[in-house]
């Protein structure tokens, strides 16, 4: 069984280091001339998949923008995941789940179990009930070859009050998260399957990321203000494991497929240059 880390390493080697979000929020649907309803959602998602799923390493649907349309939105999310994977893209489902015990196990099963219609290559999770609370997701990911991206250092202004708080032992809460994920990836080659989410807009972090041995998802590029040149300040000597993530910067180029592809190619070239 190939691990997620192995598949991601291969996808980046073949397609380049780029993750593109699928974020069909109301303003973007309007920009594309689409209605803010299930029909507009379906058209948007189908167009992004057709334009990019056969050429970018990772597509990242934001589950909330599908969930807001209820069961019909979830059906479109299922189709988006399936079609993206069939075209060769890895799917990182952005759900940011975090709970305890059987509830966390149920979330993990919903998104990572091979029999689930929402089965994705990886998901995002929140560790702020304690990293140990995520154990059911870690265990299922390990047994099915899936991946997990754990929030570590985020770019929202409220984040540092929690993430930079000092835990017992003198480490920040974020560094404790980073270190625990590093342990999960110990010995993995060429890349661990347990990643971190570190915002590209946060600048010098003051945290040690060099031992993670897993992918570092860097959202916040483009419309949120960060540029590929900022990645060096944030990630330093860990640049080789960074997965830059764009959403609006690419999606705003739609709805024409050629324009979406051109936007993705442009930001990929910028990221290749910045990451060396």
Residue of 60, 96, 171, 237 marked active site: 96
Please state, as a whole number, how many other Cβ atoms lie within 10 Å of the Cβ of residue 131.
21
Residue with tokens 């265990």: 139
The Cα–Cα gap between 60 and 148 comes to 13
> What 3-state class would DSSP assign to 53?
coil
Q: Minimal CA–CA distance to 95: which of 18, 150, 160?
A: 150
The neighbour count for residue 87, using CB atoms within 10 Å, is: 15
96 is catalytic: yes
Q: Which of 46, 35, 84, 29 is nearest to 248 (CA)?
A: 29
Got the DSSP string for 4-18?
HHHHHHHHHHHH-S-
Residues carrying an active site annotation: 96
């Amino acid at each position: 069984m190939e691990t997620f880390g192995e598949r991601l390493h291969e996808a980046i080697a073949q397609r380049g280091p780029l993750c593109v979000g699928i974020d069909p929020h109301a303003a973007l649907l309007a920009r594309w001339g689409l209605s803010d309803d299930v029909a507009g959602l379906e058209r948007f998602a189908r167009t992004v998949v057709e334009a990019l799923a056969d050429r970018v390493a990772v597509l990242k649907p934001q589950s909330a923008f599908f969930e807001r349309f209820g069961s019909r939105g979830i059906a479109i999310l299922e189709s988006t995941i399936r079609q993206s994977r069939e075209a060769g893209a890895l799917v990182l489902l952005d759900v940011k789940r975090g709970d305890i015990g059987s509830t966390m196990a149920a979330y993990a099963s919903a998104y990572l179990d091979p029999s689930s219609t929402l089965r994705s290559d990886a998901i995002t999770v929140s560790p702020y009930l304690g990293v140990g609370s995520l154990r059911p997701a870690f265990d299922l990911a390990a047994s099915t070859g899936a991946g997990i991206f754990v929030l570590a250092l985020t770019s929202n202004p409220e984040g540092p009050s929690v993430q930079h708080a000092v835990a017992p032992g003198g480490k920040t809460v974020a560094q404790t998260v980073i270190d625990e994920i590093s342990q999960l990836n110990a010995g993995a080659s060429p890349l661990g399957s347990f990643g971190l989410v570190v915002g590209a807009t946060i600048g010098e972090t003051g945290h040690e990321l060099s031992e993670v041995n897993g992918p570092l998802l860097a959202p916040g590029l483009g419309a949120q203000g960060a540029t590929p040149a900022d990645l060096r300040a944030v990630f330093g000597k860990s640049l080789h494991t960074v997965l830059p993530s764009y959403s609006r910067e690419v999606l705003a180029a739609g709805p024409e497929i050629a324009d979406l592809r051109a936007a993705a190619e442009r930001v990929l070239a910028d990221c290749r240059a910045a990451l060396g």
